[in-house]
Chains A and B, each alone.
Chain A
């Protein structure tokens, strides 16, 4: 049976045309291009849909970045296999592996 799937909402942010990202990173199996020195949160905010970066452990509520200055802990992602890293404080590196934490309870 097919289901009518609503198109996922577009990302919340975009780059102006004069910015040319050229740092390849691996996001959930797909290659994305980041700006040099850009934070992981910035990269994801302009690539992933407007939904969750993570689901918090208590009730599985969707969370996404709020403050981008290291305060709120709602931008936690898995980077290079290590969970719960603050995406707003970590700069992309070529070849970095990034994944959202969409199962309540994180990894382990």
Chain B
């Protein structure tokens, strides 16, 4: 059985980036089809930490700092609307987020970077001592040199965010193609042709939002993308009584009571396994910050592949007429601005000057 259909815009990728764009395009009145590869995808959206965070973004691309801040500023409106529309509580909290520094030198370095970013974006931050951290994250070790705290940052539940975005597409005329890996993307007259195992879809415009899958889709259009996987491993513990008022970069207590521990960066290609060594390192660091965690049980560990550009910033570009590329590492932090501004650009059919710093051209030399 083969499906043949025609839509205005095809969004390839059912993860957080693609689903947020699809959600935004729907709001712009576009007739869209979302192609979701399903369980066999790398699906970074399912494995991430869920931080909604501007702090620290833009270290290697100045223009990313104000963009990330804008993204975090519009998050609450986006989140509230999504919850109201779907009835799914995505557990958004923006009560601040500390980034712990393991030693005084790292703290000084972080502060210097934040000062630089602040000059660019105006992002407010504070440096907190263990006593100050203890007020919102009780049990922090007095040996922690300190943390850089951004009051606007926070976290959401990434799994429920993805679920809500998918649920929002159930109503109206959106087409959700599940378990539909796009095997081939072809430019044809007047648009594009997408081939999946289920059939063929014609569209006027196409959005490449398939995470690492964009590598192959870009090739289909003759473009080599400078993105690569960067593995992060995450540990999750059993449920514990609520203690933490805010998340931190490497340790967060979820609404369910579990602790998520993470923060590893490994350049290991497309390997989505976990290792004993990194598990141990994450456990050690978490315990060094919060000694009480040593009696809390680890329940599961997993890894996900960050999708990194050389400067860790998003890429927005029109890589062929009507073919838009959206790729980033921060699918949660940027979900709101993707559903808003970026979806608007694609609906308009052209990227404005605001997108210029994020185009592929920046990697040209």
Touching in the complex, A and B, CB below 8 A? yes
Q: Which positions in A face B, CB cutoff 8 Å?
A: 57-58, 82-84, 105-106, 108
**C-alpha gap A57/B241 in the complex (Å):** 8
Give min CB distance, B193 to chain A, whole Å. 48
Known: A57-B257, A82-B295, A84-B297. A108 touches B243 (CB 8 A): yes
Residues of A within 8 A of B295 (CB): 82-83
Residue B142 interfacial (CB < 8 Å): no
Contact B297 A105 (CB under 8 A): no
Contact A57 B239 (CB under 8 A): yes
Residues of A within 8 A of B297 (CB): 84
Contact A84 B243 (CB under 8 A): no
Residue B238 interfacial (CB < 8 Å): yes
Chain B, range 305-330, C-beta contacts under 8 Å to A: none
Residue B270 interfacial (CB < 8 Å): no
Contact B238 A108 (CB under 8 A): no
Contact with A along B289-306 (1 / 0, CB 8 A): 000100111000000000
**C-alpha gap A84/B296 in the complex (Å):** 9
20 A-B pairs (CB sep. < 8 Å):
A57-B238, A57-B239, A57-B257, A58-B239, A82-B295, A83-B295, A84-B238, A84-B297, A105-B239, A105-B240, A105-B241, A105-B257, A106-B239, A106-B240, A106-B241, A108-B240, A108-B241, A108-B243, A108-B292, A108-B296
Residues of B within 8 A of A57 (CB): 238-239, 257
Chain B, range 222-271, C-beta contacts under 8 Å to A: 238-241, 243, 257
Residues of A within 8 A of B296 (CB): 108
Residues of A within 8 A of B243 (CB): 108
- Residue pairs across A and B with CB atoms within 8 Å: the count is 20
Residues of B within 8 A of A84 (CB): 238, 297
Residues of A within 8 A of B238 (CB): 57, 84
Residues of B within 8 A of A106 (CB): 239-241
Residues of A within 8 A of B241 (CB): 105-106, 108
Contact with A along B261-288 (1 / 0, CB 8 A): 0000000000000000000000000000
Given contacts A84-B297, A108-B240, A108-B243, 4 further A-B contacts (CB under 8 A): A57-B238, A105-B239, A105-B240, A106-B241
**C-alpha gap A83/B238 in the complex (Å):** 11
- Nearest to B292 among chain A residues (CB) is A108
**C-alpha gap A69/B145 in the complex (Å):** 46
Give min CB distance, B56 to chain A, whole Å. 30
Residues of B within 8 A of A82 (CB): 295
Give min CB distance, B282 to chain A, whole Å. 20
**C-alpha gap A82/B241 in the complex (Å):** 16
6 smallest beta-carbon distances between A and B, as pairs: A57-B239, A105-B241, A108-B240, A108-B241, A84-B297, A57-B257
**C-alpha gap A83/B297 in the complex (Å):** 9
Give min CB distance, B243 to chain A, whole Å. 7
Give min CB distance, A54 to chain B, whole Å. 12
**C-alpha gap A105/B256 in the complex (Å):** 11
Residues of B within 8 A of A105 (CB): 239-241, 257
- Nearest to A73 among chain B residues (CB) is B238
- Nearest to A103 among chain B residues (CB) is B241
**C-alpha gap A105/B257 in the complex (Å):** 9
- Nearest to B258 among chain A residues (CB) is A57
Give min CB distance, A25 to chain B, whole Å. 21
- Nearest to A58 among chain B residues (CB) is B239
**C-alpha gap A83/B295 in the complex (Å):** 8
Give min CB distance, A86 to chain B, whole Å. 11
**C-alpha gap A106/B238 in the complex (Å):** 11
Give min CB distance, A78 to chain B, whole Å. 11
**C-alpha gap A61/B297 in the complex (Å):** 21
Give min CB distance, B137 to chain A, whole Å. 14
- Nearest to B242 among chain A residues (CB) is A105
- Nearest to A105 among chain B residues (CB) is B241
**C-alpha gap A105/B243 in the complex (Å):** 12
**C-alpha gap A58/B257 in the complex (Å):** 9
**C-alpha gap A83/B296 in the complex (Å):** 9
